[in-house]
């Protein structure tokens, strides 16, 4: 498989970014290559396009399958596995976020819960208060994330486009509800 120089630059960039997203360079490059490819790719296609070893391709495909970002498929009459992305760009992004949450946020929450259950620390100490704030923030994030994961991509896009307007909307709704409760209480 031959890549144009422009496409090669994009694939290489995704390799560099992969380490920031929780993958190694080869895994990031492979994900980009598979996502950008119009057709399913065999391990041989990937070896040729990225100039990496077959063993590296094998390990990277297993990792990407473990993240549920790619899947293998067979072609009738061909014994090779071919790899395709496991959804739309939005679905892949949601899957990466879900895996990062599972690997990073969930263990931290578990550790904090365990700490609070067995801890005899002074509940008024600065460190305990800080740990509770961290816990509460992560719990809030978890609930928000679960809600966002259930949203349709078009609703997510609209939410993201709102940006800081959401804050203004919340301020306005707070003023409306505050004035309405004042009217009801006779103030």
Alpha carbons 67 and 75: distance in angstroms, whole number: 23
Judge whether 101 lies within some domain: yes
Alpha carbons 71 and 58: distance in angstroms, whole number: 13
Domain boundary residue, one of 33, 60, 86: 86
- Residue 100 shares a structural domain with residue 165: yes
Greater confidence (166 vs 91) lies with 91
Judge whether 111 lies within some domain: yes
Judge whether 73 lies within some domain: yes
- Residue 15 shares a structural domain with residue 68: yes
Number of compact structural domains in the chain: 2
pLDDT at 34 over 60: yes
- Please report the pLDDT score of residue 54 as a whole number: 96
Helices (H), 101-152: 106-118, 126-149
pTM of the model: 0.77
Domain boundary residue, one of 41, 61, 86: 86
- Residue 107 shares a structural domain with residue 122: yes
- Residue 108 shares a structural domain with residue 63: no
- Residue 142 shares a structural domain with residue 75: no
- Residue 21 shares a structural domain with residue 70: yes
- Residue 130 shares a structural domain with residue 154: yes
Alpha carbons 27 and 23: distance in angstroms, whole number: 6
- Please report the pLDDT score of residue 164 as a whole number: 81
Token reading at 164: 């800081």
- Residue 96 shares a structural domain with residue 152: yes
- Residue 44 shares a structural domain with residue 95: no
pLDDT at 179 over 70: no
Judge whether 18 lies within some domain: yes
Minimum mean pLDDT range among 10-19, 61-70, 144-153, 159-168: 159-168
- Residue 115 shares a structural domain with residue 162: yes
- Residue 60 shares a structural domain with residue 100: no
- Please report the pLDDT score of residue 183 as a whole number: 61
Judge whether 187 lies within some domain: no
Domain that holds residue 59: 5-86
* Per-residue confidence band for 81, with pLDDT thresholds at 50, 70 and 90: very high
- Residue 62 shares a structural domain with residue 144: no
Q: What's the mean per-residue pLDDT of the chain?
A: 89
Give per-residue pLDDT as tens, 87-138.
999 999 999 999 989 999 999 999 999 988 887 777 778 888 899 999 999 9
CA 171 to chain centre: 29
Phi, then psi, of 158 in degrees rounded to 5:
-65, -40
pLDDT at 187 over 60: no
What distances in angstroms separate CA 74 from CA 35, 58, 84, 161, one per listed residue?
18, 16, 11, 39
Alpha carbons 6 and 67: distance in angstroms, whole number: 27
- CB neighbours (10 Å) of residue 60? 27
- CB neighbours (10 Å) of residue 177? 10
Judge whether 31 lies within some domain: yes
């Amino acid at each position: 498989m031959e890549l144009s120089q422009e496409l090669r630059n994009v694939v290489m960039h995704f390799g560099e970014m992969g380490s920031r997203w929780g993958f190694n360079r080869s895994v990031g490059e492979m994900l980009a290559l598979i996502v950008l490819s119009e057709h399913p790719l065999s391990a041989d296609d990937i070896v040729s396009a990225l100039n990496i070893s077959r063993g590296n391709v094998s390990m990277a495909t297993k990792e990407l399958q473990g993240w549920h970002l790619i899947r293998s498929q067979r072609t009738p009459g061909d014994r090779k596995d071919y790899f395709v992305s496991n959804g739309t760009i939005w679905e892949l992004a949601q899957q990466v976020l879900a895996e990062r949450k599972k690997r990073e946020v969930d263990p931290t929450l578990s550790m904090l819960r365990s700490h609070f259950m067995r801890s005899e620390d002074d509940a008024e100490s600065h460190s305990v208060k800080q740990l509770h704030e961290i816990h509460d923030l992560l719990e809030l994030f978890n609930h928000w994330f679960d809600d966002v994961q259930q949203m349709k991509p078009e609703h997510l896009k609209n939410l993201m486009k709102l940006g800081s307007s959401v804050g203004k909307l919340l301020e306005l709704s707070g003023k409306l509800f505050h004035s309405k409760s004042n009217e009801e209480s006779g103030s």
